[in-house]
Amino acid sequence: MFFVIGFGTAIFADSFFRHIIQDLFQWTTNNGIQFGGKDFYLFGNPIYFTSFGLAFFIFSVANRKAKVSRILRNGILLILIFSIALIGISALDANLKIIECTACDDGIRRLGYNEINYGLILATSVIVSIIPSLIKIIRTINKRI
């Protein structure tokens, strides 16, 4: 059930995260990246949807017997790690795109909206953010053994 909730949330938030990543690309490069063309896409990346669903599932398994205050604290930690990872990965990718551009005018790189791998950025951020829950699950399994 939690996998389906995470998958649905990912579908619902797909366009929101696309705009966030575009803003991060511009913000972290001091508008060194400008977008052109139409921002048109049909479907998001299935890896992103699946990773979001798995993250919800792993988080629910790791916190199934925890108190509400502990679940909230772990949820805030998960969101904080996800945000930091999203900003870091987007900034790194954006600056690498500017560095690899040898024929840019005044250091400004023009990208199409679909030249960014949104699914990879989001999936990597989700996987990094779920690491504390995975560690908790592994420790619980090791205690049982």
Please check whether residue 9 lies inside any domain of the structure: yes
Predicted local confidence at residue 132, as pLDDT: 92
Residue 111 lies inside a defined structural domain of this protein: yes
The pTM (predicted TM-score) of the whole model is 0.88
- Phi/psi region, residue 44 (left: phi>0; alpha: psi -120 to 50; beta: rest), is beta
Cα(99)–Cα(113) distance, rounded to whole angstroms? 19
Find the domain containing 105 and state its range.
2-15+43-144
Confidence of residue 42 (pLDDT cuts 50, 70, 90): low
How high is the pLDDT of residue 14? 86
Least confident of 7-16, 31-40, 75-84: 31-40
Residue 84 lies in a domain: yes
Instruction: Confirm whether 25 is domain-assigned.
Output: no
Assigned domain for 101 exists: yes
Determine, yes or no, domain membership for 26: no
> In total, how many domains does the chain have?
1
| Residue 58: inside a domain | yes
Q: Do the domain assignments include residue 115?
A: yes
pLDDT in tens, 85-138: 999 999 999 999 888 877 777 778 888 888 888 889 999 999 999 999 999 999
Largest Cα span, the chain = 61
Q: Which long-range contacts (CB under 8 A, 24 or more apart) does 42-48 make?
A: 44/10, 44/11, 44/14, 44/118, 44/119, 45/117, 45/118, 45/119, 45/120, 45/122, 45/123, 46/119, 47/119, 47/120, 47/123, 48/10, 48/14, 48/118, 48/119, 48/120, 48/122, 48/123, 48/126
> pLDDT, tens digit, for every residue of 13-41?
888 998 999 999 999 988 888 888 877 77
Residue 47 Cα distances to 20, 33, 83, 117, angstroms: 18, 26, 18, 11
- Number of Cβ within 10 Å of residue 2's Cβ equals 16
Reading the block at residue 125, the tokens are: 């951020």
Question: What integer pLDDT is reported at residue 40 of this predicted model?
Answer: 73
Q: Rounded distance, CA 37 to CA 110, Å?
A: 10
